[in-house]
Structures are given as structure tokens and as C-alpha cells.
Amino acid sequence: MNDQPLASRSFTQADQDEFARLSGDLNPLHLDAGFARRTQMGEVVVHGVHYLLWALETVLRSAPFEVRSIKVRFSQPLFLHEMAQVRVTARTEAAVNVEITAADTVVATVKLSSQPGKVSGSSANALPLSPQSIASPVDLAFEHLAGRHGVHAAAASDGEIRRLFPALSNAIGPAAVGALMAASQIVGMACPGLHSLFAGIDVTRDAASDTERALRYAVGKIAPRFRSLQIDVSGAGLTGRLEAFARLPPPEQPDMKIVAARVTMDVFAGQKALIIGGSRGLGEVVAKMIAAGGGHPVITYRAGRLDAERIADDIRQNGQACDIVQYDALQAAGGQLDSIGSVDSCYYFATAKIFQRKSAPYEPEKLRAFLSYYVDGFYELCTALAQHRAGRIAIFYPSTIFVDGAVTGLTEYAMAKAAGETLANYLNAFLPNVHIVSRRLPRIMTDQTAIVGVVSAQDALDVLLPIVYDVQQLARSSSGATRI
């Protein structure tokens, strides 16, 4: 087939908002950058059914085809403003194979067939056709998803569907297009709901249900180890199965009461610590440790102000003090530090999104993006702190055990962390009033590392507490000097 794409486009927030209204899939992963930031994806994800419908419309406009069944596999997320392309990879009288790509990576594959599919959604047929409305996505434990069932309908009218997807509507009927939209609502709102990943669709045209305007669903097989579900569907011109994963929810870091029980009272009294990237993950834990020990953490955030305020509230409700300040590690440090005042120590947890889309073992542009945080941003901060301090300042630079081991998709991340280690050694040698402590951290469960499947991770308090004691001891030994 011709390697040229049939069409290219990106999806804006306005596109997302409109599809959410039409489909009824209001999952915040597709709409709320603050919510998406706390997931492993790290940013807003386009509805899978949204770009699927766009691809199907594109293919059917290019050449008519009798569609009897549709099989889809969503392999990777598509992000807001990311350029997507649709290509036909094979075409016969019986089938059309389609790829949807972004950044030279396949995010979804589609097979249109002129023959009925092999999967039936018969277990959902017995449900009465009474659509249920749902205002917000459910948030259930995985074990409570077994046996769930219901009926949902897209909000879009037949007129809206025909206007947006005329070729697809002619091929399978507006009711079936609406059923695909309803499938997005089922997965994103009802089952699994809030923490969901849409994995696949395998449906056959069912002309007998063309007059219906809702899609029944019933959970069939579940696999707890992989948190996966098979969901039978029928109605509105389709019958078949959906596949989905229940994502692990963003892990909650220990609250102040738990942290305070592990930290010696007043061990950090009189010390002020700057926590770069303190609004979540490891930075959040360190900020709470400093506060629990009687110190004063300054929690910085780049985009997560609400998260920073949540942490500050937890600290203050436990009787300790802290500040929150906006700080962008990719910008000049000097002016941003003016409002912070004097500090004894600094912990550097600024980071890019760790798990990124990869189309090759090594991608130079991704290395440059990581270097901007782990080398350039770190250097900028260290030199700015050193210029304003007469005595030594203790700074923690977190590296990773992945420097020593090959982990799929983390080449550039590990390379940049290794470069940061080298920089830390040179700064210790050539900046006399800087003392950088660098440690290679194991995998610790954070919102960036919480993935579907079995993953071992160490406890954040166990790993970080001895490091914080070491850094603060260094800070105390220099406390007699004039602070910045």
C-alpha cells in the first residue's frame, strides 16, 4: 500500500470537550490536565473512540467498503495536540487494515471486514433497554467490577452523528456510530470507570437492533493479575465485546501522621529546606519529613498548585509550618529564588515525564528534553544558590538504578540521570560552597511508576529517610555560615 497517510490531524481541548458532550464520556483523563498529570500518562489523553471514528470516516471517504465487523486494538495513548495519521496498510475485497500512528508509533490498529466477527455479546442481550445516566465516573475496587452490567447511550443525536461522520453513518448506520460512542462512555464512566484504559473493540453489525439507541453491557471474563476485563455489548446495531484495563489509581503518599511517627521530633528544628518539585511523589514525602522533624520546607510546584496546597494543608493541620512557591526548573533560577529567602538545604525532584512514547531504542530529542531538567536545570539552580551563600549548602540530586541496567523505554532517562551524576561530581569539586549528595534510588511507587501489572517497588519512607537525615546533617554542619 501507499505509505502516505490518508489524513493527519491533532485534537484540541475544544475537540475533547465536544466529544465528551456527544459521547457522555466525561472521564477527567480526557478533560482535566491536573487529573491527567497524576496518572502514569502524565497528560490529557484523547478518547480512543474519538480518533477511531475520525480514522474510520477517513478510510470510508477514501473508498466505500461494506463493513460487517470492526476489530480495534488500542496499543498506546494519543495525547492532546499530538499529530495523528491514518494509513491503510492492506486492502482486499474482504478486509481493510488500518493503522493510526503518532510520532512514528502505532497507537491503534483497525480491521474492517465484510464478514461477521466471531465474538458475540449475547450475555448482554437479556438486559432491559433502559439507558442509565451517569454524571461522574465510578471509582470501584477491581474485585467489585465482576458481574457489572448496565445500559448506556451516547448523547449525540442522529443528525449530529450524520453531520460529523457521514461516510461512516452510511456504512454502518448512525445508531451503530452512536453505539461506539456509548462504548467510550461505558469504559470511561461505568466499567472500569475513573481509572480505565480502553484496550480493544471487537463488534459485528446487528441490523436487528438498528432501531435501538442504547448499548447494553455485561462484564464477562476478568483477569485480576493484569486488571483486565472483557465486556460483552449488544444493541444499537452492534454486538460483540470491549476490552479494558482498570488502571492502578495514583498512589497516595503517606500522610503527616504516618511520616511523623517515623521522624525524630525536632531533629530538623531551625532548618529551612527548598524542595524543588515538592507537589507530588518523592518531593511530597521529603517535604513532610522535613516538617515532621521540626524543619520548614519550601514546597515548589510548576503546574500542580492544587497538589502543593493539599500537601501544605496536611503539614499545617499537623502543627508544622511550610511555604509553597511556584518554580520552573526550565527557567532562570535567580529571580525565582528571590521570594524564597534563605535556605539550608535543597532537594531536586524536578522531572520530565519519565515513560514516553518511543519509536526507536535511542531518540536524541528525548535525551535533550531530559537533560534540560537533570543537567541544565540542576546546574542553573546550584549556581544560583551558590552565588548567594557564604557557607556550604547541602543539595540532594536523585539518580536512578536504571543507570546500571537496560530497561525498555528508559534509555534517554538513564543517560540524562548519569550525566547529572557527573555534573554533581564536578560541582562538588569546583563550587566550594556546594555539597551535593547523589544517590541512585530504586523504583519507588509514585504516580509516574504506577502501572498495570505486577510491579515491585520499595517504600518511599524506608528509602528516603536515611538520605534526608544525611543531607540535613550536612546542612546543620554549615548552619553557622551566612545563609542566602
Residue 251 lies in a domain: no
Tell which of 218, 246, 274 closes a domain: 246
Q: How does the average pLDDT of the chain come out, rounded? A: 92
| 420 and 369 in a common domain | yes
Q: Please, which pLDDT band fits residue 454 given cuts at 50, 70 and 90? A: very low
With respect to residue 319, please indicate whether it lies within any of the assigned structural domains: yes
Helices (H), 390-459: 411-430
Cβ atoms within 10 Å, residue 439:
18
Write out the three cell numbers for 181: 460512542
Are 355 and 407 in contact by the 8 Å Cβ rule? The answer is no
Peptide bond into 64 cis (omega under 30): no
In this structure, the answer to whether residues 179 and 52 fall within a common structural domain is: yes
For β-strands 238-246 and 323-326, DSSP reports them as unpaired
Domain boundary residue, one of 228, 246, 264: 246
DSSP track, 294-330: T-EEEEEESS-HHHHHHHHHHHHHTT---EEEE--TT
Same domain for 283 and 152?
A: no
Q: What is the model's pLDDT at position 366?
A: 93
Cis peptide bond upstream of 116, omega within 30: no
Output the domain CATH number for residue 119: 3.10.129.10
Same domain, 221 and 285: no
* 242 and 276 part of one domain: no
Q: What is the pTM of this model?
A: 0.87
pLDDT at 456: 64
In a domain, 56, yes or no: yes
Residues in the chain: 484
Mark whether 21 and 161 lie in a shared domain. Answer: yes
Give the three cell numbers for residue 230. 472483557
Please check whether residue 483 lies inside any domain of the structure: no
Q: Which amino acid does the sequence have at 137?
A: P
β 296-301/323-326 pair status: parallel
Q: Are residues 238 and 334 in the same domain?
A: no
Domain count, the chain: 2
Q: Percent of the chain beyond pLDDT 70?
A: 96
Confidence band of 451 (pLDDT split at 50, 70, 90) = low
Q: Judge if 224 and 262 occupy the same domain.
A: no
Q: How confident is the model at residue 390 (pLDDT cuts 50, 70, 90)?
A: low
The reply to whether 219 and 268 lie within a common domain is: no
**448 grid coordinates:** 509516574
Q: Domain end: 191, 222, 246, which one?
A: 246
User: Are residues 205 and 77 part of one domain?
Assistant: yes
pLDDT at 484: 36
Q: Looking at residue 260, what is its pLDDT?
A: 96
Whether residue 469 is contained in a domain is answered as: yes
Grid cell for residue 455: 510491579
Question: Checking phi first, is residue 58 left (phi over 0); if not, alpha (psi -120 to 50) or beta?
Answer: alpha
Q: Closest Cα to residue 352, out of 413, 424, 282? A: 413
Same domain, yes or no: 230 and 260: no
Identify whether 266 is part of a domain: yes
pLDDT in tens, 53-87: 999 999 999 999 999 999 999 999 999 999 999 99
Domain of residue 291 covers 256-477
Instruction: Please report which helix (H) or strand (E) contains residue 481, including its range.
Output: none
CA-nearest of 303, 286, 299, 292 to 325 is 299
In a domain, 1, yes or no: no
pLDDT, tens digit, for every residue of 200-256? 999 999 999 999 999 999 999 999 999 999 999 999 999 999 999 999 888 889 999
Query: Does 16 map to a domain?
Result: yes
- Can you tell me which residue has the cell 505486577? 454
Q: Are residues 207 and 263 in the same domain?
A: no
| CATH code, domain with 460 | 3.40.50.720
